[in-house]
A and B are shown apart, each in its own frame.
Chain A
Amino acid sequence: MTTASPYAWLGLLMTVSFSLACTLQPRVVSWRERAGSGDLIKILLGEGRRLFANHFFIRADVYFHSGYYPSIFDQADKPAPTALAGAHDHDAHTADEHERQMAFLGEPRDWIERFGRHFRITEHTHLTGGGEREILPWLKLSAELDPQRVQTYTVAAYWLRTRLGKVTEARDFLREGLRNNPDSYEILFELGRLYHENEHDAVRARNLWELALRRWNEREGRKKAGEQDLFALEQIAVRLARLEEAEGHLARAIQLLELARRASPHPAALDAQIAELRAKMSTAPGK
């Protein structure tokens, strides 16, 4: 048996390499398609990435509290705080409730815990004065890992447009969220707020809120009474009613306030507003 020359071996190896490349190429393409994008992390982590996304969202909340945050051992006794997501609509009640949630440390149980508190953050503060930007990398990362987590987009957009003045970035991020979650009434509502409050574009805001209302009906309408997201419905309906009232469409405004009234835990205030609009409508000519 004669020995094959090095050139023959080289030729054989190149043929094998070429065959392997041809075999693997379609598989690589199918991996990309399965993952939704070419992101290697998504392929590697699979559904586990949602856990990391949740962790990074919480990390953003930790940053918002400047490091003062309960560990899982502290959370065993008390529920986790939700200031980051709840910061949209702070009132005295929610602020008090949040303060109560964050009083997780309590009295030290022994000298080790008492002395150890000198080396951990024990002061409850929130980021202010532009410092809110520090939460953004974690929210971005969370959205990258779990594009279906709607709250990440709405929370990030809120901070971007209200505290950091980055309306374009907020709009782009919400649009990215909408591409990943076309049925999300939460993102549509937040996008409507951006157009109304920051860009003063009432037409686009109305269209978006109308669409949000439709999406809410499609998604939540099928659920049982106790399981529906009534808070979102009230917010969409009230905002849309204000817009219609400003545009002079009083009948539609009343209709929307009545819808909000059904969703509201405090309907008395809305009753007064409906009565006021009815009175205005009866005096207005041609309405």
Chain B
Amino acid sequence: MNKVLAIAGVVVKELYRRKDFYVLFVLTALITMLLGAVNFFNDPKIVRYLKEVCLLLIWVSTLVIAVVTAARQIPAEKENRTIFPLLAKPVTRWQVILGKFAGCWLAAGIALLLFYLFFAVISESRGGTAAAGAPVTAAASGPHDHDAHAEEAHSDDAGAAAPARRALLTYVEALWLHWMMLAVVIAMVLLGSLIFAMPASNATIQFIVIAGILLLGEHLNKVALRQVEPLQTILQVLYFAIPHLEWYDLRDFIIYDHPPVALWACALATLYAAVYALVFLLAAWLVFRRKGLTT
């Protein structure tokens, strides 16, 4: 376990040494703040478009960070020939795969946390959930009705706290599921880095696959129904075989202030992501075990 953590630590350090994260963070912040400064019909309370754009940028940025970081791990070790001293420690190939995965996943998690903190600050500064949870003032309470007034104030506080708590839970769920989705993506990219010759080709193919799953994954069964055989069966098999990454996208729940997802559903989705990540990691290990280190 210590060996895995040591390898992971090196990957995390690599993230803050490289400029990818900083550039993407600054770009996200800059675009969001520029859009936030736009005046629409003199209404400063308009916030959802800003949430949508900011979350979209966060999704794109974290995907780029995760895919690019994971895609270059093993090819870079081979190219620099640092893979030989690494495996001579001794470290098994499974530990290398696991360490690289853990490092990329942790690095993506740290980046994700910073992005979501920025999002929460921007969202709340524009009213965010505070506006939705604003208490309704009781103007009708009389001057002698102290107890009733206090009770109302108390219930108002509770009324304001409930949507804020609900929104916080939605944020946490969105962050958690987003991170779980990145686990599947990173495992998939690590497997790809052992199959495809170049990190750039691997990253490009993975971006296309991920975008395809996110945009079309949930609709494949509907599309299949309108096709003739054997395309129908192929699409159905694909539909059941692919990891449904679109489940982990809770952006709409944040944008439209919807109640959080049931915790048991989140737990099951976490289990689903863990299984897929493990499958990809095992496949990566199987490929890596038989692969020469010089090619």
List residues of A (121-164) whose CB comes within 8 Å of B's CBs.
121, 123, 130, 133-134, 136-138, 140, 160, 164
Complex contact B218–A166 (CB within 8 A): no
Whether a CB of chain B sits under 8 angstroms from the CB of A7 is no
Complex contact A109–B41 (CB within 8 A): no
Q: How far is the CA of A267 from the CA of B113 in the complex (A)?
A: 63
CB-nearest residue of chain A relative to B35? A137
Whether a CB of chain A sits under 8 angstroms from the CB of B48 is yes
Known contacts A67-B252, A109-B221, A137-B49; A160 and B41 CB within 8 A of each other: yes
Q: Which of B38, B240, B246 contacts A116 (CB 8 A)?
A: B246
Complex contact A134–B49 (CB within 8 A): yes
CB-nearest residue of chain A relative to B226? A76
Which residues does chain A contribute within 8 Å of B258, judged by CB atoms?
A: 66-67, 121, 123
Complex contact A134–B250 (CB within 8 A): no
Complex contact B223–A73 (CB within 8 A): yes
Most A CB within 10 A of own CB, among B47, B226, B258 = B258
Q: How far is the CA of A173 from the CA of B256 in the complex (A)?
A: 26
Complex contact A110–B221 (CB within 8 A): yes
Q: How far is the CA of A183 from the CA of B163 in the complex (A)?
A: 48
Q: Which of B222, B240, B247 contacts A115 (CB 8 A)?
A: B247
Whether a CB of chain A sits under 8 angstroms from the CB of B147 is no
Whether a CB of chain B sits under 8 angstroms from the CB of A71 is yes
Complex contact B252–A133 (CB within 8 A): no
Which residues does chain B contribute within 8 Å of A164, judged by CB atoms?
A: 41, 43
Q: Which of A113, A123, A134 contacts B48 (CB 8 A)?
A: A134
Write the nearest CB–CB distance from A270 to chain B, whole angstroms.
37
Which residues does chain A contribute within 8 Å of B265, judged by CB atoms?
A: 115, 118-119
Write the nearest CB–CB distance from B134 to chain A, whole angstroms.
11
Known contacts A66-B256, A115-B268, A119-B269; A140 and B40 CB within 8 A of each other: yes
Whether a CB of chain B sits under 8 angstroms from the CB of A195 is no
Interface string of A193-216 (1 = CB under 8 A from B): 000000000000000000000000
CB-nearest residue of chain B relative to A170? B41
Q: Which of B43, B247, B249, B250 contacts A166 (CB 8 A)?
A: B43
Q: How far is the CA of A133 from the CA of B41 in the complex (A)?
A: 9
Whether a CB of chain B sits under 8 angstroms from the CB of A247 is no
Q: Which of A67, A73, A137, A166 contacts B219 (CB 8 A)?
A: A73
Q: Which of B41, B239, B256 contacts A112 (CB 8 A)?
A: B239
Which residues does chain A contribute within 8 Å of B59, judged by CB atoms?
A: none
Which residues does chain B contribute within 8 Å of A116, judged by CB atoms?
A: 218, 244, 246-247
CB-nearest residue of chain B relative to A119? B247
CB-nearest residue of chain A relative to B236? A110
Complex contact A166–B47 (CB within 8 A): no
CB-nearest residue of chain B relative to A130? B45
Complex contact A136–B46 (CB within 8 A): yes
CB-nearest residue of chain B relative to A72? B219
Which residues does chain A contribute within 8 Å of B256, judged by CB atoms?
A: 63, 66-67, 121
Interface string of A158-184 (1 = CB under 8 A from B): 001000101001000100000000000
Which residues does chain B contribute within 8 Å of A266, judged by CB atoms?
A: none
Q: How far is the CA of A59 from the CA of B233 in the complex (A)?
A: 34
Complex contact B240–A119 (CB within 8 A): no
- List 3 tightest A-B contacts by C-beta distance, closest first: A118-B265, A73-B219, A67-B256
21 residue pairs of the A-B complex, CB under 8 angstroms, read: A66-B256, A67-B252, A109-B222, A112-B218, A113-B218, A113-B221, A115-B265, A115-B269, A116-B244, A119-B177, A119-B246, A119-B248, A119-B249, A119-B269, A121-B252, A121-B253, A121-B256, A121-B258, A134-B47, A138-B49, A166-B42
Q: A73-B223, A136-B46 are in contact. List 15 more A-B contacts (CB 8 A).
A: A63-B48, A66-B256, A73-B222, A110-B240, A112-B239, A112-B240, A112-B244, A113-B221, A115-B265, A116-B218, A119-B247, A121-B252, A121-B253, A160-B41, A164-B43
